[in-house]
Amino acid sequence: MIICKVVKPLVSTNRIPDFEHKHLQVVLDGSTQKVAVDAVGCIPGDWVICVGSSAAREAAGSKSYPSDLTIVGIIDHWDPEAAKVLASNAAPASAAATANGGKA
Amino acid sequence: MIICKVVKPLVSTNRIPDFEHKHLQVVLDGSTQKVAVDAVGCIPGDWVICVGSSAAREAAGSKSYPSDLTIVGIIDHWDPEAAKVLASNAAPASAAATANGGKA
Amino acid sequence: MIICKVVKPLVSTNRIPDFEHKHLQVVLDGSTQKVAVDAVGCIPGDWVICVGSSAAREAAGSKSYPSDLTIVGIIDHWDPEAAKVLASNAAPASAAATANGGKA
Amino acid sequence: MIICKVVKPLVSTNRIPDFEHKHLQVVLDGSTQKVAVDAVGCIPGDWVICVGSSAAREAAGSKSYPSDLTIVGIIDHWDPEAAKVLASNAAPASAAATANGGKA
Amino acid sequence: MIICKVVKPLVSTNRIPDFEHKHLQVVLDGSTQKVAVDAVGCIPGDWVICVGSSAAREAAGSKSYPSDLTIVGIIDHWDPEAAKVLASNAAPASAAATANGGKA
């Protein structure tokens, strides 16, 4: 699951019927904006857990719901600054390529 | 789901029969061009919501349709400039590696 | 679906029996080389549409075929230079992080 | 599967009922923080194997559990420094684009 | 499917029972280390084809095996240097963002 910040609701009048009337939220995944189905009732500014892959369908309510990103929980306390410090101190396995690039 | 801009229809005469006659659109995901099955009837220039993963199949019409990216909605209003400002101000959890690299 | 260029056939004598005798092609996805199952009969130099995720299995012929990338169509006309110009002019939502990094 | 380091448990009081009471852990994938369902009982500092995609659901206990990242094993010995040296010496197929960017 | 180089076997004593006694290998995907289930019997130094997504489960032996990356074939001959030259000469559609970043 990824940690995202809720930005705002997304309005899409012309959409497939399978989406029903569930709320769509624009969320920030790092600096990329994505769209997630809201299964918990969150508001802009909330830090949330989003599930992707095929699990996003069941999390949105049913196996046939066409979501690939669903908000499944609101994080009680999240400090993005602490997260950044942690990330810059740690440079495990998969960070190697990025780290080398950064030395250019 | 990801937010894409529709570029133009894609013509592929030699394709597998399972694709039937559904329209394919070239869409821009950031600066990467991808191909999506059009389930809503959009035109070049539209900002759209694209669903991926296994949900793209059902969104395209049936569980056995071989799509991994389907256009499921047209966004009523989208301001890409506002999106960029927002993204550069916010630097949450998963942006840390990119941000460090940018300071090199 | 992603747009790839066919590089060459890939020979793998020691492989799992489930792969049967279908042709494998090395394809370029941007500058990354991947391996795709060929469901249309393409040749090196062709620009093709590749489907991933669970849809790659059905596109390769059956639900139990172990592919995660299948070539499903040959693009009639593709101009990679035009694609690059387009991509550098447009900088929508999800390109923001990359764009910031590029200014370093 | 990816190799991650366990950071700390994540508390999310307001979450969908399907998540039950399983433990959620913040894990570092490179320098990106993600959330994983803990199926083995790990503690902060452990290096673990996380499985994603649809396999994450069964790994979490049942086919309908809505996880897209599940901790499935604790690595007996892992040396992240050795991993970085290895990664910088080797520059196989898919590293080409990153390597070129690093020379800028 | 992705092209990886086998690094070494991975030992994880504390793992979920569903993993059984199948061999796990650390593989290099570009410069990122991942873990793959070995379905062909490979040794360190081999260049292999790895399948991901839901296809990794069936490739590992059964639909319920919790793998998201399975080694499905050993490549007869692979020249990583030739691959790099090829990648730097070609800059198709999805490489545009990376190429711009490289000019910084």
pLDDT 10s digits, B71-104: 999 999 999 887 777 767 664 444 434 433 333 3
> Is B31 close to E93, i.e. CB distance below 8 A?
no
Comparing CB atoms, the residue among B31, B34, B54 nearest residue E97 is B31
Buried b (16+ CB within 10 A) or exposed e, A34-51: bbbbbbbebeeebbbbbb
Which tokens hold the place of C23? 């042709």
Residue of C nearest to A28 (CA): C94
* E strand or H helix at D87: helix D80-89
Closest chain C C-alpha to E65 CA, distance in angstroms: 13
| Whole-Å CA distances, A84 to B95, C2, C92, E2 | 8, 32, 25, 30
Q: Is E61 in CB contact (< 8 Å) with chain D?
A: no
What percent of chain B is predicted at pLDDT more than 90? 69
| Whole-Å CA distances, A39 to A12, A32, B65, C93, D16 | 18, 21, 27, 24, 7
Closest CA to A76 of D15, D42, D23, D36: D15
Which of D27, D28, D31, D69 would you mutate first to test chain B, the one with the most B CBs within 10 A? Answer: D31
Torsion angle, CA of C64/C67/C72/C77, rounded to 10 degrees?
180
> For the whole model, what pTM was predicted?
0.86
Q: Is D11 in CB contact (< 8 Å) with chain E?
A: no
Q: Is A96 in CB contact (< 8 Å) with chain E?
A: yes
> Is B94 close to A15, i.e. CB distance below 8 A?
no
pLDDT 10s digits, C73-101: 999 999 988 777 776 766 444 443 443 33
Three-state DSSP state, D53 = coil
DSSP calls for B79-92:
-HHHHHHHHHH---
Size of interface A-E (CB pairs under 8 A): 13
Neighbour subunits, C (≥3 Cβ pairs < 8 A): A, B, D, E
B35 DSSP β-pair partners: B26
pLDDT at A35: 98
Residue of B nearest to E104 (CA): B102
pLDDT 10s digits, D29-76: 999 999 999 999 999 999 999 999 999 999 999 899 999 999 999 999
Closest chain D C-alpha to A88 CA, distance in angstroms: 7
